Amino acid sequence: MAVMTYREALNQALREELRRDERVFVIGEEVGLYDGAYKVTQGLLKEFGAKRIVDTPIAESGFTGVGIGAAMVGLRPVVEMMTFNFALVALDQIVNAAAKLSYMSGGQFNVPIVIRGPGGPAHQLAAQHSQSMEVYFYHVPGLKVVRPSTPADAKGLLKSAIRDDNPVVFIESETLYGIKGEVPDDPDFTIPLGQAVVRREGRDVTVIAYTGMLYRALEAAEALEKEGISVEIVDPRTLRPMDVPTIIGSVRKTHRVVVAEAGAGFAGMGSEISAFITEQAFDDLDAPVERVTGANAPMPYAKNLERAKTPSKEKIMAAVRRVCYANGS
């Protein structure tokens, strides 16, 4: 095991897959000469050359289309969005082409493409650069959607995404690029898509959270332990396909649920998780499912308002107390 940052784990995954499979290439804005806007592609141009690390103009729809066409003829492109907010410009390519070509061709074409980059709350980048974009994609049949929370998951899930024969939307977290953790050195280390993980065992309540919200949930769980409330935390890791059995298993163990997500709550990830828990485990619940979400407003620039918009440890703790009927909640 090596200790490295989330950013370095992504870089290692790309490097290993570029070495393993000559069909893999990276394309996007500033991925080559500049080493990536967030340095995820650092050093790759020097090792693999300009035919496999391809700098593009500021034209997300164009270079995403190039990636889709390359995937259709047998290559395995990794398309980098400088920030996933810019994927809106390529939404037609992702939703109407990548997601549907295998189905509409009767399986004659696969589209093994990974579209990756940072998304979700950032550090004072305001409304157009801080959106939680997963909601735009997990509704679309044909797309897989991944949100890794740790350096090990960043490496293992990205390698699985590159090897997958389907289009994968791989949304990282800008605020997590610098966090450190143990990452296996094995170049064959992968984590299967569609497999959740229990990050913390507990008895009284299940909290479901991913990327930045996972860390707020872990902080809340530590604080609540001092109040005698034992919190289990489940990280879905892959939002589509969702590991429903692991989540339902935790619900049947604790009988109470809080779902935390950074995006606005209406029709969000928490809505879907709450729905299948209610459909499949209603008789196991001792309280309604609680959702902790971002405020229903664009992300402000001001630091204090940015904090107010984003779910906090305190908001998660309050929701847990409510479902546990603790402290008068």
Element (H or E) spanning 238, and its range?
A: strand 238-240
Torsion, Cα of 83, 89, 92, 94 (10° steps): -20
Catalytic residue among 8, 17, 29, 60: 60
What residues contact 296, with CB distance under 8 A and at least 6 apart? Answer: 264, 265, 266
Backbone region of residue 221 per phi and psi (left: phi > 0; alpha: psi in -120 to 50; beta: other values) = alpha
In degrees, rounded to 5, the angle at the alpha carbon of residue 185 between the alpha carbons of residues 189 and 53 is 80
CB atoms within 10 A of CB 98: 27
| 258 strand-pairing partners | 207, 290
Spatial separation of the C-alpha atoms in residues 26 and 37, rounded to whole Å: 14
> Can you say whether the dihedral through the CA atoms of 134, 12, 59, 302 is positive or negative?
positive
| 302 strand-pairing partners | none
Active site residue 201: no
Instruction: Give SS3 for 119.
Output: strand
The residue behind tokens 């994968």 is: 168
Catalytic residue among 129, 232, 261, 290: 129
Active site residue 290: no
| 294 strand-pairing partners | 264
Backbone region of residue 108 per phi and psi (left: phi > 0; alpha: psi in -120 to 50; beta: other values) = alpha
Answer yes or no: are the C-beta atoms of 151 and 211 closer than 8 Å: no
Instruction: Give how far Cα 278 sits from Cα of 58, 69, 155, 193, 255, Å.
Output: 44, 41, 33, 24, 11
CB atoms within 10 A of CB 119: 29
Spatial separation of the C-alpha atoms in residues 179 and 3, rounded to whole Å: 10
Spatial separation of the C-alpha atoms in residues 329 and 106, rounded to whole Å: 54
List the catalytic residues.
Answer: 60, 129
